[in-house]
Amino acid sequence: MAKDLKTMFIRCCGYLQDPHHVASFQKFCGVQGSFPVKLSRKEWENDFFVNGACVKRHQDQSGNGAGHVGGQQIEGPLQRKSVTAGEQHNDCSSKLQHGTALVSGIGETTEQQIVSHEGNRQSSGCRLIGKPSKVVASDRENADSSGRVKPLRRNSLTGDVGQEFIIQNKFLFYLFTFGSELGNEMFFIVFFPFLIWNVDAFVSRRILVVWIWNLFLGQSTKDIVRWTRPASPPVVKVEVFYNSEYSMPSTHAMSGTAIPFSLFLLTYGRWQYPFLFGLSLAICWSFLVCVSRVYMGMHSVLEVITGFLYSLLILAVFQSTLDQIDSFYLTSHHAPLVIVILHVGLGFLAFTLDSWSTSRGDTAQALGTGAGAALASHLNHQLGLLADPPLSSLPLALPPLSAALLARSLLRLLLGVVVLLATRAAMKAATIPLACRVFGLPAGDVRQARQHMEVELSYRYIVYGTVSFSCVCLVPLLFSYLNLS
């Protein structure tokens, strides 16, 4: 019985990991890739593409595949594997470990590309990129009416700008782009300050703790599991910014679940509003972020579901300890030392899990943000600044909306975010060259320099620690000086 359940669970995971489900959802939502048409099986056995050039493959005496590109012979075995439905049961576990399991129907045969981790992360060298083909004529016809677009941002690691694709439903494109942005840096640099300056610093401190632990555990799990992104084709990469990272679990789904549900749990009972309103907002927020990651082609269904459940587990563990953590950060004389050691130590731990990737930088960025905010909260408490409302005033009533209230809130937000962005730009311009000079590294290529742990850790902690410290402590002082509190 237990063995049957395990087998069923593995098959279910393999089914949910299938990139064809992602491609089908994208097609349903009006996303069409500019992929070439698949050749016949016989043509595929004789041809493949290496670095964009057609290669004729033949078998040498040793049985290895070899080919020619531009008159030069390419040696080595063909990196692909034929998987039949009968073999799928025995091979499912190893496929899941690589995040590339393809589930086919009865009697079907699927072609699977097996690419090494290092091959995915390097733009140089020969690599198999898919079945050769003829250009799709219908793509050009659809492009005339719908228009071709490219991902909004290039890949942060490789500089890849991505492949053109066709959007046939612009409403869903903008909706899911917005949902995806709810897990990106610019949203956090607006959301958390707005919460601190205009809503409730008490709630924001606790949400920051949950968010930081979600990102640390999620990104670290990615580097341990090491599943690659959904295969393209068949998936259309509507977003390529995070394409170099591993994908299991979806940290967008994790943060998109942790933030709205922790916001609901921390504010309901503290603020007066209907229960169903708060719960519905949290569910819709989380659902939009999770579905957007499938739409963007960044995650399989399994990875999004795993991120959602993983985040709920972390939230359940930390929810009962948030009061103790916040009280320690505010009142303990040892808090500054513990905050620095904890957040820096977790950053060093994250950097030992795998070779350099953007996920490690994101982890250090979240930890640096948490350290700066915690230190600023401790200083505020010691100086008697931004005091929390007394318990006797709870539950807090939502103030009536007025033009003056909206204008004051927007003015605080705009002025404060401008200060934070200016602080980030100035610290970024100064920190990377300084770190390169201190550690004796060349500073000419910023991207290459940031692949060194010493530079990346220094940059992330100093820049985002300063930004979050300014957000929690210095900007509110500026508001007091300008009579905007």
pLDDT of residue 49: 43
Segment holding 368, helix H or strand E:
helix 358-383
Answer yes or no: is 152 within a domain. no
Whether omega for the bond prior to residue 476 falls within 30 degrees of 0, making it cis, is no
Q: Which domain holds residue 432?
A: 165-482
Which of the following is catalytic: 252, 343, 378, 381?
252
Answer yes or no: is 263 within a domain. yes
Which of the following is catalytic: 21, 299, 378, 381?
299
pLDDT of residue 30: 92
DSSP string, 271-328: B---HHHHHHHHHHHHHHHHHHHHHTTS--HHHHHHHHHHHHHHHHHHHTTHHHHHHH
CA 433/CA 353 separation, integer angstroms: 26
Answer yes or no: is 306 within a domain. yes
One digit per residue, the tens of pLDDT, for the chain of length 485 reads: 778 888 898 999 999 999 999 999 999 999 988 766 554 545 444 544 444 444 444 444 334 444 443 344 433 333 333 333 334 334 444 444 444 333 333 333 333 333 334 344 333 333 333 444 444 444 444 444 446 777 777 765 566 777 788 899 999 999 999 999 998 888 998 999 999 999 999 999 999 999 999 999 998 898 888 898 999 889 999 988 888 888 899 999 999 999 999 999 999 999 999 999 999 999 999 999 999 999 999 999 999 999 999 999 999 999 889 999 999 999 999 999 999 999 999 988 877 766 656 667 788 889 999 999 999 999 999 988 878 888 888 888 888 888 989 999 999 999 999 999 999 999 988 998 888 888 888 877 777 777 788 888 888 999 999 999 999 999 999 999 999 87
Q: Which two tokens stand for residue 299?
A: 């995650």
Q: Kindly state the DSSP code that residue 391 receives in the 8-state scheme.
A: G
CA 383/CA 396 separation, integer angstroms: 24
Is 68 designated active site?
Answer: no
Answer yes or no: is 220 within a domain. yes
Answer yes or no: is 107 within a domain. no
Strands 53-56 and 47-50: antiparallel
Is 252 designated active site?
Answer: yes
Residue type, 388: D
Answer yes or no: is 438 within a domain. yes
pLDDT of residue 161: 74
Q: Of 405, 391, 409, 376, give the one whose Cα is nearest residue 479.
A: 409
pLDDT of residue 354: 63
Q: Of 200, 244, 242, 250, give the one whose Cα is nearest residue 221.
A: 250
Count of domains in the chain? 1
CA 270/CA 255 separation, integer angstroms: 23
Answer yes or no: is 76 within a domain. no
Is 49 in a helix, a strand, or coil?
strand
pLDDT of residue 317: 92
Answer yes or no: is 284 within a domain. yes
CA 297/CA 183 separation, integer angstroms: 15
